[in-house]
Structure 1
Amino acid sequence: MRALVLVLLALALPARAAMEHDGIVNAVALSRDGRFVASASYDQSVRIWDAAGGRELQVLTDHAGNVNCVAFSADSKRLVSGGAGQELLLHAVDTGALLRRFPGHDNAIYGCAFTPDGRSLLSASWDHSLGVWDAASGRRRLALTGHRAAVNAVAVSPDGRRAASASYDLTARLWDLGTGQELRRFEGHERSVNAVAFSPDGKQVLTASTDGTLKLWDTASGDLLRSLETPGRFFTAVAFLGAPGKAISAGGDGLLRIWNLDAGTELARLAGHDRVAWSVAASAKGDLAASGGIDRTVRLWDVTAGRERAR
């Protein structure tokens, strides 16, 4: 569904303006030091922006095809991205130099992440597998297999010991990054699981689905703790806002929603994207968010004030 939606909605888009790509923005990331925003697009580029004012700093054009995911290292010095070219690319943030390629998947990559120590990269692919890669050598250390359909997203726990994945097979899964063993399976969504995020303490994962729900899970037991619904809508992305009990989501109606997960209530809506808001990321403190959408735009949000900061 995701690929079809992107192709159909890409046909009639307006001219490019500030903080925009020449194609749909599939993914965004915020650096841990708060200085940079990165965006990945259907225009086959990754762009690095100044988070303070939205100025474009780097345009990375080494990908062969659409770019679907992007993530910063914890020290904010490196950037990993992946896409239709079936490989991860590692770039230096300050210069934009291509540092290494990580080939090995048999289909497009839609999710990518660093471990907190920066030594390993993770990839989620439509070949139904996840890869764990040595960042220094480029060697694939582990292949995580078990999903029965395309894998849409991957997240790494704060302690770097586990990964969570989201898939078209209607499940999210928890993995041991030391052994590659599947630790837990989260079942309950009725349609594709599009995104997954760890809480800052690593005790919970939050999943976002085309079925119009966000689901909060306990990582120790696998129990469903809460389900949040928006009838008639679908969720594309999710991130925690600096604390276990607060999160932000992106969805098919173009809105970003801020949630109180403990109470199960919607706190606020951030409007600005035209049509689908495809991606969202939050700063470590939870005071800043970035989003990207079908409308080609990258937007920065002051979460505390509830308004758009730059575009």
Structure 2
Amino acid sequence: MPEDDAIVATQPLGIWDVATGKKREEFAEFDNNGVPFAVAASRDGQFVALGSLVKQNTSGAVCSTIHIFDLLAGKEVRSVTLKDMVFGMKIDASTQLWLTGTRKIYLWDFSVSEKPTPAQVYNYLSFTDPIRHINTPNWEFGTIYGLDVRVEKLDSGNWGVFACWDRVARLGMSDGGVSYFPELPHDGPVYDAVLNDEGALAATASHDGTARVFDVATRQEIGRVIHGAAVTAVRFLPGTSDVVSVGVDDTVRISSVN
């Protein structure tokens, strides 16, 4: 959410006031020939990113088109097409867009490049490319879904968490600038993963019908919320260790983790 009192949604892309339920703004006119699948907003409320799945007419392959909107200017300012299915998006504190796809994590500094092309998607060699993908050699298969990142800890510490199809969430951790990805286990595909404000706890949502909370330092599970069916999203309440989880059993649960 760009603000604590607003929600960003797709179909069409718009911003709604939480208190009144009324639409504040809508971007009805932009070139989007795909199915909106993911959305992210910068914390200062200036930028919104929209990801759409697009089927290429020539090859039949599914790609993703990423649109960047400047809410202050009231228009779309950037776009890029990736030859991957993008499912998760996050705009970090330095206004870089993180994207998750099939076995890959992408990072686009959209303030540097007006319109990067697929040819500008490089293997992760430095932090200078307009779009780069971070190699994940130990991830054997599957899609990466939700994510959360702390860009200020990229060189040292726990800088992120990623929800993965292969029944784990993976922490993004660095030691001397070298990243590694310890696993947080589930019994089914993991659809969402977030860190709390301090980055000390990670919460995950899974097809196995549970939302789980892990201590990042020890990687031990310290809490579990049981739904009657798959859990698709989870969030920490700001400033607390309490979690909100959403399941396809038509329930929203608020749970305390001590």
TM-score (norm: length of structure 1): 0.59
* Cα shift at 1:137: 4.6
1:62-211 residue pairs with structure 2 within 5 A? 62=82, 64-76=83-95, 78-83=96-101, 85-96=102-113, 97-104=130-137, 105=139, 106-115=141-150, 117-119=152-154, 120-134=159-173, 137=177, 139-145=179-185, 147-187=186-226, 189-211=227-249
The letter of the residue matching 1:24 is V
Instruction: Find the aligned partners of 1:21 and 1:124 in 2 and give their Cα distance.
Output: 27
Residues 125/19 of structure 1: CA separation in 2 closer, same or farther (3 Å cut): farther
Match of 2:75 among 34, 49, 55: 55
Supply the RMSD in Å over aligned alpha carbons: 2.2
* Cα shift at 1:72: 1.3
The letter of the residue matching 1:163 is A
* Cα shift at 1:107: 0.3
Moved over 6 A (4+): none
* Cα shift at 1:75: 3.1
CA contact (8 A) 1:150 1:167 kept: yes
CA contact (8 A) 1:114 1:121 kept: yes
Secondary structure of the 2:182 match is: strand
Instruction: Find the aligned partners of 1:47 and 1:140 in 2 and give their Cα distance.
Output: 30
TM-score (norm: length of structure 2): 0.70
**Structure 2: segments with no counterpart, 5+ residues:** 1-26, 55-63, 114-129
* Cα shift at 1:138: 6.2
Match of 1:34 among 45, 56, 68: 45
Give me the identity figure in percent: 28
Instruction: Find the aligned partners of 2:41 and 2:206 in 1 and give their Cα distance.
Output: 24
Residues 22/178 of structure 1: CA separation in 2 closer, same or farther (3 Å cut): farther
Q: Name which of structure 1's ranges 30-39 and 90-99 shifts more when overlaid on structure 2.
A: 90-99
Secondary structure of the 2:87 match is: strand
Instruction: Find the aligned partners of 2:252 and 2:31 in 1 and give their Cα distance.
Output: 28
1:217 corresponds to 2:235 = no
* Cα shift at 1:20: 5.9
The letter of the residue matching 2:94 is D
* Cα shift at 1:19: 4.5
* Cα shift at 1:91: 1.4
Residues 133/102 of structure 1: CA separation in 2 closer, same or farther (3 Å cut): farther
The letter of the residue matching 1:143 is E
The letter of the residue matching 1:69 is G
**Structure 1: segments with no counterpart, 5+ residues:** 1-15, 221-311
CA contact (8 A) 2:104 2:133 kept: no
CA contact (8 A) 1:101 1:138 kept: no
Instruction: Find the aligned partners of 2:87 and 2:105 in 1 and give their Cα distance.
Output: 10
Instruction: Find the aligned partners of 2:105 and 2:71 in 1 and give their Cα distance.
Output: 24
* Cα shift at 1:100: 3.7
CA contact (8 A) 2:241 2:257 kept: yes
Instruction: Find the aligned partners of 2:188 and 2:220 in 1 and give their Cα distance.
Output: 18
* Cα shift at 1:98: 0.9
* Cα shift at 1:149: 0.6
CA contact (8 A) 2:160 2:195 kept: no
